A and B are shown apart, each in its own frame.
Chain A
Amino acid sequence: GQQVMQIPQYQHVQEGEDFTTYCNSSTTLSNIQWYKQRPGGHPVFLIQLVKSGEVKKQKRLTFQFGEAKKNSSLHITATQTTDVGTYFCAGIPGRRALTFGSGTRLQVQP
């Protein structure tokens, strides 16, 4: 089964509300990446975290990498309709290939 899990699978928010998705790996990750896929589109790279406890921000998006480097989160402040899509985390848990989480689909109600 997948070694990188995400929760929730789906979230529906009102525009302006905050949103958080969580990513958990069964093994320690050297780094973690986040991607966004718009409806009907392909995944696009957002950011990479490397250091234990690292926090990075991109405008309204805040990314965190856990101290044990086995979990991560993406938080969006004051969601907008342009945030709609599926957010994936990805890492390399033991394999040499990039393994994606199951994704969190975000729907934003105007």
Chain B
Amino acid sequence: DAGITQSPRHKVTETGTPVTLRCHQTENHRYMYWYRQDPGHGLRLIHYSYGVKDTDKGEVSDGYSVSRSKTEDFLLTLESATSSQTSVYFCAISEGTGGVEAFFGQGTRLTVV
């Protein structure tokens, strides 16, 4: 497996609290992605990064922010968690785009109560 680590792996938090999920890679890949997975919706792109400090929104970015200050780390922040953000979050990395496979982390199961 590619060197991708997500932390934490599980988290329960209360509505209204801020939450940060971390994705760390040791592959020096340029692209990093955050997806959420919910039943019936597959994998939906939240935000992605194409370089240090270069990020862009995905299809479900509302309520989320990201930061990438180093090649190896991509942080996803829920500024004020809501129950609708209960989900499994996957980080992925790829060397490039347009025909390069993506490698996924193990996922973070987040529950907002």
A33 to B101, CA, bound (A): 8
A67 to B42, CA, bound (A): 25
B43: which A residues are within 8 A, CB to CB?
43, 88, 100, 103
Contact (A97, B42) CB under 8 Å given A30-B98, A48-B99: no
Judging by beta carbons under 8 Å apart, are B44 and A97 in contact?
no
Interface residues on B, range: 20 to 34
- B58 located at the interface, meaning its Cβ lies under 8 Å from any Cβ of chain A in the complex: yes
Contact (A102, B40) CB under 8 Å given A42-B105, A50-B99, A97-B48: yes
- A interface residues, Cβ below 8 angstroms from B: 1-2, 6, 9, 30-31, 33, 42-45, 48, 50, 88, 90, 92, 95-103
Query: Could you list 20 examples of A-B contacts with CB < 8 Å?
Result: A2-B42, A2-B44, A42-B90, A42-B106, A42-B107, A43-B90, A44-B104, A45-B102, A45-B103, A97-B33, A97-B45, A97-B48, A97-B58, A97-B97, A98-B97, A98-B102, A100-B35, A100-B44, A101-B42, A103-B42
- B interface residues, Cβ below 8 angstroms from A: 31, 33, 35, 40-45, 48, 50, 56, 58-59, 90, 92, 94, 97-99, 101-107
